[in-house]
Each structure stands twice: as structure tokens, then as C-alpha cells.
Chain A
Amino acid sequence: MSELRTPLSKVKGLGSAKEGTGHFWHQRLTSLLLIPLVLWVGFSLAALPVNHATLVGWIQQPWVSVTLVLLVIVVFYHAQLGLQVIIEDYISAHSKRTVTLLLTNLACLLCGTIGVISVLKISFGA
């Protein structure tokens, strides 16, 4: 026998995707990144007077813009990974699960994009 895969597995075409630990690992990496990012944004916002001018002025500082864009991307990637696990655990019907996953992923992508564009718009002088 020169082939270790069964005929059924070949027909189904579901071979190793070589990313078995990818989800787990990305969840951990994003959580590590979020530790300094969340502490920074939390304390900065708490110490900031909350009117429009101060907020815009704060975001327009180059390093704040860069870090905020990074935060938005990492937050929604982390959220997508986490929500995926919850959906996969609690929704067992295949079609319902797939649709929910697709909608959730789309929502995370959309929110992340809106967040990034908003920061950029403020940063480049809205």
C-alpha cells in the first residue's frame, strides 16, 4: 500500500489543512497583543475629557492613530476567533451554524473596517 489515505477521505477531499493549531495560536497571540493595547487605550480614555475636540485631537497624534488602528484590527480578529468557538460549540445544525458563522465573520470584518477608516479619517483631518 503506497497510499495512506482511505478512498473515502480522497473523495471527500478533506485532507490535512495544516492549520490545526492556527486558530488556538492566533487567539493566544491576539490576547497577548491586547494586554498592553487595552491597558493603554483604557487608561488614556479614562483620563481624557470626553468632548469631541479633545477626542479628535488625541486621535490625531500619529502614534495614537497607529496604535488605535492596530487595536481595532486585533480586537475584531480576537472577537471573530472567540465568537467562532462559541457558535461552533452551541449551534449544532450544520446549515444554521455555517450561516451564523458567515454573518458573524462578516460583521467583525465590517466593524473592523469601519473602525480603521474612522480613525484614518480623523487622523488625516476630518
Chain B
Amino acid sequence: MANSKYPTSPHLQIYRLPLTALLSIAHRITGVILAVGCLLLVWLLAAAAESAESYQLLFNHLDSWYGQIFLLGFVFSLYLHFCNGVRHLFWDVGYGFELETVDLTAKLVIAVAVILTIATWVVAGTV
């Protein structure tokens, strides 16, 4: 197709995704992250049911730098998926389809997710 003189349809690589499209794919990606994360949380639950030692072993991993990065990613994914999910539920009942509203709620979703992530980190850090 390199020598084709015909215009080709814009594809993902050259088409700048609008915010809503970015959030749409982010919703799926965070969904997968959450599924994998829940797998690890169930592992933690199973370890807690097994013994205090098993729990402590796994908890030390969560407390390490890579564990903290995972937790931060998980918590942010959770809030982003949560907020955007609520946005989807409003769409499902027919609200918020105007372009300005869609753009506004997209920004709102991201802002709330960031704020909640920071808030959770602060609360968890003070306990």
C-alpha cells in the first residue's frame, strides 16, 4: 500500500483520540488491571485464612517498593474505573450525551480519580 495514491482512512496511529475515546479504552485497561489485582487480593485473603506467617510473607511484598507501585496502580485503576463506570450508568439511563457534557464529565472522572487516590494514600499513611 506504500505507493497507493488513494487516501486511506485515519488509523489509530495518526488519529489523535479525543478524551472520551481515551477514557473508553482506559476503562477496559483498568478493568483488566483490576481483575488481575483482585486475583492478588484474593491471594492475600487466602494467606490471611492460612496463617499469620503466610499473611506476613505476602504483606511484606505489598509493603516493598514494587508492592507499593502495584497498590498505587490498583487504587488509581479502581477509582478511574469506578468513576467512569458511574458515568456509563448515567449514559445507560439517557443522561449526559451532549458533547460539552461528555467532555466535562470525562475531565471530572479523571480529576475525582486522582483526588481519591491521593486521599486514600494520605488516609492509609496516617493509620
Contacts and interface: CB of A to CB of B under 8 A. Distances in A.
A42 B52 CA distance: 22
Contacts, number: 75
A66 interface: no
Given A52-B48, A56-B48, A46 B120 contact: yes
A100 B23 CA distance: 25
B89 A42 contact: no
Given A28-B92, A52-B55, A86-B28, A42 B46 contact: no
Interface of B: 28, 31-32, 34-35, 38-39, 42, 45-46, 48-50, 52, 55-56, 59, 78, 82, 85-86, 88-89, 92, 120, 123-124, 127
Interface of A: 28, 31-32, 34-35, 38, 42, 46-50, 52-53, 55-56, 59, 72, 75-76, 79, 82-83, 86, 107-108, 111-112, 114-115, 117-119, 121-122, 126
